[in-house]
Structure 1
Amino acid sequence: MPDPIQSISTLLNKISSQADVEESAEWYLRSYLVDYKRTLLRKWSSQEIEFATGALMRFCAQSLDTDGALYRECAEIAEEGTKMGEQLKAAGR
């Protein structure tokens, strides 16, 4: 399974120059990804990860071209995060 933390870092680096354009989709996406990464690193509960994954995917579905590469990368990160949440749930968290 790919590491979602590394995938988020890679995507953050990829969008860094566009993310400096205030109120661009990448600008907002950076904020969502940073928050999501923080949530995954904390690993407090499967429910927290599930909530954060839903928020990330809602943003991506509403703000990005669903046929575009950026959307696909977000969806892959969310899928990796979901798997991490499922592992926590299996461990009783």
Structure 2
Amino acid sequence: MTDQSELKTIGLTPAIYCADQALFHVTGGVPLGDALAMASDFLFLAKKLTEDAAYARDTDRHAWAAHYLTAMSKAVVDDAVKVLRRDGSDASR
């Protein structure tokens, strides 16, 4: 099994689609801990934006910003899960 500090994103996970094509992807080679910390930061900001959106009746910009931040966060977490599953399956061989 790989040392967890050596695990890195694999970059196979898309985020934010435009015209049925992924506009963004998670970048491969980022240390997993750093990537997950960034996803946590994105989710924290999205949470704050959704709270603002609950009170701002004049615009939907807070909700859309939160939507994009959660989509990027989900892609990072999904990419991390792929890495962890791949690493776990290698150990069983």
TM-score higher than 0.5: no
- Indicate the structure whose relative CO is greater, using CA pairs within 8 Å and at least 6 residues apart: 2
> Which structure shows the higher strand fraction?
2
Select the structure of larger CA radius of gyration: 2
Bin the TM-score by the shorter chain. Answer: 0.3 to 0.5
TM-score normalised per structure 1: 0.38
